[in-house]
Amino acid sequence: MVARGKHASVLLVGPFAVKWFVRGMAGNARKEYAVLKAIRHLGIAPRPCFRLGRLLVRFQVRGRQVRDMSDGELRRHAPAFLKALHELDKLNIMKEESHRPDKHFFWTRGGPRLIDFDRAHPGRGNVTQFLQFLNRVYPGITRLGAGYKKTLDLEPILKFIGSS
C-alpha cells in the first residue's frame, strides 16, 4: 500500500513504513528521524530504524485511526491522547496539525500512537490544538486551553472530560 502526501509518500512493507520525501525535503526526513529518536522512550510514536537522505524507515503503526472512531471511542481514548500530547509539550516539541488528527493519531493495543513528525519544531501547543478537535465531542473544552498554556497543567482538562 502506498499513501501519498504533500511532502512524502509512504510504502508499507511488512512491519516497516518506508517514507520517502520529495526532492528538497531531505531536511524534513532528518527532522522526523531526530524527533522519533528523541521521543522513542515515551512509546507514543513508531520506532525509527534508519534514514538515508530523503528516505526514512520506521516501524509501522497498526491500529485504529482517529477518523474511524465513533464519538464514544474518541471520548474513551481522549485522556490518553491528551497525556501523550502533554508529554510532547513538556519536551518542547510542537508536532503541528494536532487540531486535525484524523490520519496521524492511532489507537493501538499499546495505547495512543502519533505519526508524521516531519513538520515538528520547538514549541508547545499540542494539547491546545487537540482541544480544538475535541470540542465537537466535549463542547466548551477549548476554554480550558488558555489556562493550560500558562501552567501546562493537564488536570483541569482531564477533570472536565471526567465530568462530561
Query: In the prediction, which pLDDT does 51 show?
Result: 97
| Number of domains within the chain | 2
- Phi/psi at 8 (5° precision): -160, 165
Query: In the prediction, which pLDDT does 1 show?
Result: 59
Average of per-residue pLDDT across 7-24: 95
All three cell numbers of 37, joined, read 529518536
Whether 68 and 117 map to the same domain: the answer is: yes
Angle at 159 between CA 158 and CA 164, to 5 degrees: 100
Whether 68 and 106 map to the same domain: the answer is: yes
Average of per-residue pLDDT across 90-96: 96
Query: In the prediction, which pLDDT does 153 show?
Result: 98
Note down the domain range covering 153.
64-163
pTM: 0.93
| Domain final position from 25, 59, 93 | 59
All three cell numbers of 60, joined, read 509501522
Least confident of 79-88, 96-105, 120-129, 142-151: 96-105
| Domain final position from 20, 42, 59 | 59
